[in-house]
Amino acid sequence: MSGREHHYEVTVDWTGNTGKGTASYLSYGRDHDITAPGKPLLQGSADPAFRGQKDRWNPEELLVASLSECHMLTFLSLCARERIVVTAYRDAATGTMTEDGGYSGRITEVVLNPVVTVADPERAERAAELHHDANKTCFIANSVNFPVLHRPTTLVEGGA
């Protein structure tokens, strides 16, 4: 259905005020909480390279996760529509950010590395092809201005 709109709400609360606010670059924490109605809290921070906490999610990781998750959900939908039974899916996605100087930077590439197991060996080739279609139709991939590459591996359940 073309033209439908979907709206999403999240709240980000900065929790990193150490008592001095942002008096200097070194005086404040990057910690924050991300919430959405009815969802568990996500604890966020900056990348440790930017004085963040390594045990919290950073925006760059969340962007890579969003792309990986969207590709997976789109791919699984396409497989279901073509009656290809997927029994396992795992993606070890990576992202690259390049600093441009002047306190700026950008994500330059995300690579998805899905390993998919299908039930029927005769459908394995078609399942592998569907990654291309999933990449073209993923909502998040269609919203970014950098390449989202995919290097899929297709396995057959019970196969070598």
User: Within a domain: residue 73?
Assistant: yes
What's the number of domains the chain is made of?
Answer: 2
User: Within a domain: residue 6?
Assistant: no
Per-residue model confidence as pLDDT tens digits over 37-79:
999 999 999 999 999 999 999 999 999 999 999 999 999 999 9
User: Within a domain: residue 3?
Assistant: no
Q: Are 67 and 40 in the same domain?
A: no
- Given this model, what pLDDT does residue 43 score? 97
Q: Are 23 and 87 in the same domain?
A: no
User: Within a domain: residue 33?
Assistant: yes
Q: Are 79 and 126 in contact (CB under 8 A)?
A: no
Q: Are 85 and 124 in the same domain?
A: yes
Q: Are 106 and 89 in the same domain?
A: yes
Q: Are 110 and 67 in contact (CB under 8 A)?
A: yes
Between strands 114-118 and 153-156, the pairing is parallel
pLDDT at 160 over 60: no
Per-residue model confidence as pLDDT tens digits over 134-159:
999 999 999 999 999 999 999 999 87
Per-residue model confidence as pLDDT tens digits over 31-47:
999 999 999 999 999 99
- Given this model, what pLDDT does residue 1 score? 62
User: Within a domain: residue 2?
Assistant: no
Q: Are 43 and 120 in the same domain?
A: no
Q: Are 66 and 37 in the same domain?
A: no
User: Within a domain: residue 5?
Assistant: no
- Given this model, what pLDDT does residue 103 score? 82
Per-residue model confidence as pLDDT tens digits over 90-135:
999 999 999 988 888 999 999 999 999 999 999 999 999 999 999 9
Q: Are 23 and 80 in the same domain?
A: no
Q: Are 16 and 95 in the same domain?
A: no
Q: Please state, in angstroms and rounded to a whole number, the distance separating the CA atoms of residues 64 and 148.
A: 10
- Given this model, what pLDDT does residue 96 score? 97
pTM of the predicted protein model: 0.90
User: Within a domain: residue 100?
Assistant: yes
What residues make up the domain containing 89? 59-156
Q: Please state, in angstroms and rounded to a whole number, the distance separating the CA atoms of residues 12 and 62.
A: 14
